[in-house]
Amino acid sequence: MGNQALKSNTFSKAEQFHRAGNLAEAETVYRQVLKSDPEHSEALRLLGLLAHQTGHGRQAADLIARAIKAQPENIEAHFNLGIVHLDQGQAAKAVDAFKAALEIEPKNFSCLVNLGNALVAAERFEEAAQHSELALKVEANNVEALSNLGQAFSKMGRLSEAMNVLRRAVLYRPNDGRLLNNLGIVEQALGLLEYANTTFEQALKVDPNCKLAERNILINTLNLPHQTSENLFKVHQAYGEKYNRPGIDADKFTSRDRDINRKLRIGYLSSDFRAHPVGFNLLPLIEHHDRSEIEIYIYSENEVSDFVTEQFEAATDQWQGTTGKTDGQIARQIEADQIDILVSLAGRFNLNRPTVTAHRAAPVQISFHDCATSGLAEMDYWLTDKALHPAETSEKFTEELYRLPQFYQFAPPTDFPEISALPLEQNGFITFGCFNKPEKINDHVIALWADVLASVAHSKLFFKYRDYFNDPALIRHWQDKFAHFGITEDRLLFAGNIDNREAHLNLYQYVDIALDPFPFNGATTSFEALAMGVPVIALRGQHFVDRVAASLLSAIGLDHLAADSHKEYIEAARQLTCNLSDLSDLRRTLRQRLISSPLCDGEQYAKSVEIAYREMWRRWSSK
């Protein structure tokens, strides 16, 4: 038998091992092939796939890249490289890999579909929609292409189209929890909250391990009006019980140095180290930490990096990616890094990983920037303040509350656009505004805002959220909702197709007074309104989630704009319109009031958080 035939037989044997799941044997044979032929493209590719299967993403990418170098026309290698990059959270590299494959074979359906997926992950939504539509021309009912198209439409603000496409995808694959979850997200974004809850519950019914649907129920529950403290707690308690791990070793940190005065290692765990409300809230703290007292470790699940990510990286001692790792793997890494205090950020949102704390990854574990209890038994503290949780709070939680002097923190708005004069002066009528997510505007909010508009003659209400109101069907949906409460469409204004931050902030030149929704208040949205000179009217509720705006207003001495009843809310809005000179003065001075307040004092805020960390460490050390 010749060398070539022998090599072919050997390679076939390796492939048989691989298909049978005998990975160790397959690896041995692949390496034998490569020993005699180091540039064997298929052996490199399949060894790379094997590395990917066993969780060695970087090694997989390197091996498959070598396969491509050895045989540039190897379309399967390009495709495999795209999949590896996607699984590693490197969407831009995945796009390049799939495009390279399509240059070789432009009609390769699998590459076309996965390119759409990669473009969605890379937030290149228009391209994602275009390539998904091309794939659907080849196979009209392909579920993956429909899913990619629906997600792209959703991110582009074409919500009604996204809902139709995703419902079609679910029709073809009704037992796919991932698809149902994506449909629920769009329904929630449209304000169809009850529909969304039903869809998320169906996702969990067909796939009990659909963590995103599970998390989205926690988010959507906060949007639902008239939730009692008991009901909110039951929902979160059930979530926590699913992940709590009996038998956690209480003595696992016995060798940890308990010196209460030593430098502490603080770990921050999040998917939001980027241009995101949580990122903007957290960055002043990270940048003002006393590095002689605190060593900063970041554990990042970021899908996309940006200029804010760069600022986090510059202010961090150690940076670890968590994409593709299990909760247990992340927890073991945190233990190996000897983190003293682990801070889980905005647990229920985006791709955050609060369940890492169920493994007791650090001696002290804190929930920060979440809007309700985590429900997790191993979460020790929930950071808050006295405005969010007064002494008499009815809210229930599994953690211990730790009240900071001030919970929220923002970078001073020194780079914001200039503040304009009151739009009233040019329009001749008061313009109320809301730039919050439509899902926060339930029928109870609409009823109250209709009463506000009725109390102020000729007033109008201006809506803007990302580019959502570029969708005519969505505009009609909200016009119909307000019509039910007697508000005609000429009283409503909408802005769409504006997602640039500076252009977004400039829209406040058209708003005299902002109206805050409930029960899920605005945080960053309220701060931005105030920074642009626009006072915010809020309704103070019973839980963290509906006391956020009140906390912000309290910090700048505008407590009277946080109402305790619908009647007070209407009156607060009406009173602001009664003295236009005072309203104009408030617009002119609000930004400086913010800058001078605790909301923008990063240095003092960092000290208060470090005092909290030190106190928590002292308590643990004394056990």
Cβ-based neighbours of 281, under 8 Å, separated by 6 or more: 369, 408, 409, 410, 523, 524
Beta strands, E only, 425-584 = 431-434, 460-464, 492-495, 513-515, 536-539, 562-563
Cα 470 to Cα 154, 495, 573, distances in angstroms:
12, 7, 28
What's the rounded mean pLDDT across residues 308-324? 93
Spatial contact of 597 and 541, defined as CB atoms under 8 Å apart: no
According to DSSP, residue 490 is labeled: G
Predicted pLDDT at 14: 60
Spatial contact of 282 and 369, defined as CB atoms under 8 Å apart: yes
Spatial contact of 367 and 378, defined as CB atoms under 8 Å apart: no
Written as six digits, the tokens of 212 are: 């995103």
Same domain, 557 and 529: yes
Query: In this structure, what CATH number is given to the domain that contains residue 99?
Result: 1.25.40.10
Q: Say if residue 362's pLDDT is above 50.
A: yes
Same domain, 554 and 445: yes
Residue-range definition of the domain harbouring residue 492 = 423-600
Cβ-based neighbours of 6, under 8 Å, separated by 6 or more: none
Same domain, 379 and 440: no
Spatial contact of 319 and 313, defined as CB atoms under 8 Å apart: yes
What's the rounded mean pLDDT across residues 377-406? 97
CB atoms within 10 A of CB 244: 16
The count of structural domains within the chain is 3
Query: In this structure, what CATH number is given to the domain that contains residue 449?
Result: 3.40.50.2000
With CA atoms as reference, report the closest residue to 411 among 269, 271, 277.
277
* Higher local confidence (pLDDT), 444 or 350: 444
User: How far apart, in Å, do the first and last CA atoms of the chain sit?
Assistant: 73
Q: Say if residue 7's pLDDT is above 60.
A: no
Q: Say if residue 222's pLDDT is above 50.
A: yes
Is 220 within the bounds of a domain? no
Same domain, 427 and 408: no
Fill in the amino acid letter for 442.
N
Q: Say if residue 353's pLDDT is above 90.
A: yes
Cβ-based neighbours of 35, under 8 Å, separated by 6 or more: none
d(CA 623, CA 621): 6
- R_g of the chain computed on alpha carbons: 27
Three-class secondary structure of residue 515 per DSSP: strand
Compute φ and ψ for 305, nearest 5 degrees. -105, 150
Domain stop point among 155, 183, 211: 183
- Sorting pLDDT into bands at 50, 70 and 90, what band is 52? confident
CA 408 to chain centre: 18
Is 229 within the bounds of a domain? no
d(CA 322, CA 49): 20
Spatial contact of 140 and 113, defined as CB atoms under 8 Å apart: no
d(CA 84, CA 449): 50
Q: Say if residue 418's pLDDT is above 80.
A: yes
Predicted pLDDT at 473: 86
Query: In this structure, what CATH number is given to the domain that contains residue 279?
Result: 3.40.50.11380
Element housing 270 (H / E) = strand 264-270
Q: Say if residue 22's pLDDT is above 70.
A: no
- Sorting pLDDT into bands at 50, 70 and 90, what band is 546? very high
Q: Say if residue 24's pLDDT is above 80.
A: no
CA dihedral 242, 246, 251, 253 (to 10 degrees): -20
Same domain, 355 and 430: no
Burial class (CB in 10 A: 0-12, 13-18, 19+), 457: exposed
- Percent of the chain past pLDDT 70, that is, above it, reads 96
What's the rounded mean pLDDT across residues 540-564? 96
Axis-axis angle for helices 580-595, 566-576 (nearest 10): 100
Same domain, 594 and 608: no
Cα 211 to Cα 181, 322, 352, 354, 368, distances in angstroms:
9, 16, 11, 11, 20
Q: Say if residue 1's pLDDT is above 50.
A: no
Same domain, 132 and 14: yes
Is 575 within the bounds of a domain? yes
d(CA 536, CA 527): 9
Written as six digits, the tokens of 378 are: 């191993």
> Which strands sit side by side in the sheet containing 318-321, from one edge to the other?
318-321, 294-300, 264-270, 341-345, 364-368, 381-385, 400-404
Same domain, 442 and 394: no
Cα 319 to Cα 30, 297, 301, 315, 359, distances in angstroms:
34, 6, 11, 10, 21
Domain stop point among 183, 198, 231: 183
Three-class secondary structure of residue 309 per DSSP: helix
Same domain, 359 and 431: no
List pLDDT tens digits, range 85-113.
988 888 999 999 999 999 999 989 999 99
Written as six digits, the tokens of 455 are: 């109390």
Same domain, 555 and 615: no
Written as six digits, the tokens of 440 are: 């926060």
d(CA 389, CA 402): 10
Name the most confidently modeled range: 32-41, 43-52, 356-365. Answer: 356-365
List pLDDT tens digits, range 569-595.
999 999 999 989 999 999 999 999 999
d(CA 358, CA 265): 19
Is 283 within the bounds of a domain? yes
List pLDDT tens digits, range 154-188.
988 889 999 999 999 999 999 999 999 999 999 99
Is 328 within the bounds of a domain? yes
Name the most confidently modeled range: 85-94, 320-329, 360-369. Answer: 360-369
Predicted pLDDT at 2: 38
- Sorting pLDDT into bands at 50, 70 and 90, what band is 13? low
Predicted pLDDT at 9: 57
Least confident of 349-358, 380-389, 391-400, 470-479: 470-479
- Sorting pLDDT into bands at 50, 70 and 90, what band is 5? very low
Same domain, 443 and 578: yes
List pLDDT tens digits, range 333-352.
999 999 999 999 999 998 89
Helices (H), 190-249: 193-206, 211-223, 229-243
List pLDDT tens digits, range 513-527.
999 999 999 999 999
Spatial contact of 570 and 545, defined as CB atoms under 8 Å apart: no
d(CA 587, CA 508): 11
Spatial contact of 186 and 146, defined as CB atoms under 8 Å apart: no
Spatial contact of 383 and 407, defined as CB atoms under 8 Å apart: yes
Is 233 within the bounds of a domain? no
d(CA 383, CA 388): 10
What's the rounded mean pLDDT across residues 315-325? 92
Same domain, 378 and 527: no
Predicted pLDDT at 38: 85
Is 94 within the bounds of a domain? yes
Predicted pLDDT at 163: 96
Domain stop point among 147, 168, 183: 183
List pLDDT tens digits, range 484-537.
999 999 999 999 877 788 999 999 999 999 999 999 999 999 999 999 999 999
Spatial contact of 398 and 375, defined as CB atoms under 8 Å apart: yes
What's the rounded mean pLDDT across residues 346-365? 94
Give the position of tokens 């307040």.
Answer: 597
Angle at the Cα of 549 from the Cα atoms of 439 and 277, rounded to 5 degrees: 65
Q: Say if residue 6's pLDDT is above 50.
A: no
d(CA 135, CA 333): 41
Compute φ and ψ for 539, nearest 5 degrees. -110, 120
Is 53 within the bounds of a domain? yes
- Sorting pLDDT into bands at 50, 70 and 90, what band is 3? very low
